[in-house]
Amino acid sequence: MDSCEIEDNNAVESELKRIFPEYFSKFSLPEGAHEERILVYRACKTNKCDKKSFTPTYEEQGCQVRDCDDPTDPSLYSLSTYEKPRDVKRFAITNSDIREPFKIAMGYTEPSCGLVQRTRERTGRRTSHVDWLLYVDAEPYKYFEIIEDFADYLEKYKKEKAGE
């Protein structure tokens, strides 16, 4: 096998890993969705960086669309992350599935795991929410770490932002 064949096989393998779940046929991928590494935060239901804490909304709901949900909204099928720590804290406090003391993880949207879109680009709303549309068998939790003392982290973050 020559080096061209190896490169071709690697390219095919890479593309095979970038397949979306079957349920993505229920909506249109947002026009602005793309691969990008963005520093984001995620509230962890299990207080760990694991598969259960990094499950997209639709799968969390047992692959069912609730009556109050718009089945064409990409956010329903994405993994919710936030660019600002105060926004993920607000989400964790208001989400009934996440119990105190909750844990927040920080990491990057790894392009090999899926496409991202800042929700404000699609909706025009002021938010730091980022929809991460994951590929089949993606393991996004591998690119995150738990922030052990989130209250302390948030205070330091606020001071840094105020000093800018």
Q: How confident is the model at residue 69 (pLDDT cuts 50, 70, 90)?
A: confident
Q: For residue 44, is it within any domain? A: yes
Q: For residue 10, is it within any domain? A: no
Q: For residue 81, is it within any domain? A: yes
How many domains are contained in the chain?
1
* Containing structural domain, residue 103: 21-163
pLDDT at 92: 87
Proportion of the chain above pLDDT 90, given as a percent: 59
pLDDT at 140: 98
Strand arrangement, sheet containing 79-82:
114-118, 129-134, 79-82, 39-44, 103-108, 144-147
pLDDT at 164: 65
Q: For residue 43, is it within any domain? A: yes
| pLDDT tens sequence across 86-130 | 999 998 888 766 667 789 999 999 999 999 999 999 988 999 999
Write 55-63 long-range contacts (CB < 8 A, 24+): 55/79, 56/134, 58/23, 60/97, 63/23
Q: For residue 8, is it within any domain? A: no
- Cβ–Cβ under 8 Å, residues 74 and 122: yes
Rounded CA gap, 129 and 83, in Å?
Answer: 6
Q: For residue 5, is it within any domain? A: no
pLDDT at 4: 42
pLDDT at 9: 45
pLDDT, the chain, mean: 87
| pLDDT tens sequence across 10-38 | 554 445 457 999 999 888 899 999 999 99
Q: For residue 15, is it within any domain? A: no
Please enumerate in sequence order all residues whose Cβ is within 8 A of that of 133, keeping only pairs 6 or more positions apart, or say none: 20, 24, 29, 33, 74, 77, 78, 79, 114, 115, 116, 117
pLDDT at 10: 52
pLDDT at 60: 87
pLDDT at 93: 85
Q: For residue 66, is it within any domain? A: yes
